[in-house]
Amino acid sequence: MINVQYFARYRETLGLDGESLDWHADVQTLAQLREQLAARGGAWAVLAEQNLMCARNQDLCSLAEPLSDGDEVAFFPTVTGG
C-alpha cells in the first residue's frame, strides 16, 4: 500500500487530502506514480505540472526516487515568496 498526500493547491483542486493505493511493482518511482495519477484526466492533470515538489517518507526528494510498499508520498506545489 502507498499512502499519497496532496497539499495546498493540489488538495483544493483534487478535493481530497490523500488516498491509499495498492502498490504495484511496475510503479517503481515517484515519476511513474505521478504519471499514473495524472492519467486519470480532468483535475488530475494538475499533477503533471513541471514544478511539482514531492517527498517520500517525509523527506524531500526528486521524482526519480524509488517507491516501495508501505511508503508515504506527498505532492505539493513549489512555494514562492518575497
Query: Higher confidence at residue 36 or residue 79?
Result: 36
Cα separation of 16 and 71, whole Å? 19
- What CATH number was assigned to the domain covering residues 2-76? 3.10.20.30
Cα separation of 47 and 37, whole Å? 7
11-22 mean pLDDT? 96
pLDDT of 82 over the 90 cut: no
pLDDT score, position 81:
56
Domain boundaries, the chain: 2-76
3-state secondary structure at position 42: helix
Question: pLDDT, tens digit, for every residue of 20-57?
Answer: 999 888 999 999 999 999 999 999 999 999 889 999 99
